[in-house]
Amino acid sequence: MAVDRSDIAKLANLARIAISDDAADEVANRISTVLALVDQLQAVNTDGVLPMAHPLDAVQRLRADVVTEPNERELYQSIAPAVQDGLYLVPQVIE
């Protein structure tokens, strides 16, 4: 898919960025190159390839699930401007 100067002008307007006329051709060439690479990747046959989360099948070392901090909710809520039933009350922002 080729990107031309008018496409760059539309994209710049939508993105609210300024792209000079001198740079528009270079930006169009770069975006066209990226889109050509995406087209090339989409052409690869991936039938039978299982998806993977990580290419090295690494295992995450996990820490023990132990409470390390005391519950200080009452202390924190004692200085809050508005609290009800253990919840912080905030001004309504959506009508």
* Cα-based distances in Å from 93 to 67, 82, 85, 90: 35, 16, 21, 9
What local confidence, expressed as pLDDT, does residue 78 receive? 95
CA atoms of 47 and 37, how far apart (whole Å): 20
pLDDT, tens only, 14-59: 999 999 988 999 999 999 999 999 999 999 999 998 888 778 877 8
pLDDT, tens only, 49-78: 888 877 887 788 899 999 999 999 999 999
Q: Is residue 23 part of a domain?
A: yes
The token pair at 71 is 């519950």
Which residues constitute the domain of residue 37?
Answer: 5-42
Q: Is residue 62 part of a domain?
A: no
Q: Is residue 13 part of a domain?
A: yes
Q: Is residue 10 part of a domain?
A: yes
Domain total in the chain: 1
- Domain with residue 35: its CATH number is 1.10.20
Q: Is residue 15 part of a domain?
A: yes
What local confidence, expressed as pLDDT, does residue 72 receive? 94
What local confidence, expressed as pLDDT, does residue 45 receive? 93
Q: Is residue 30 part of a domain?
A: yes
What local confidence, expressed as pLDDT, does residue 38 receive? 94
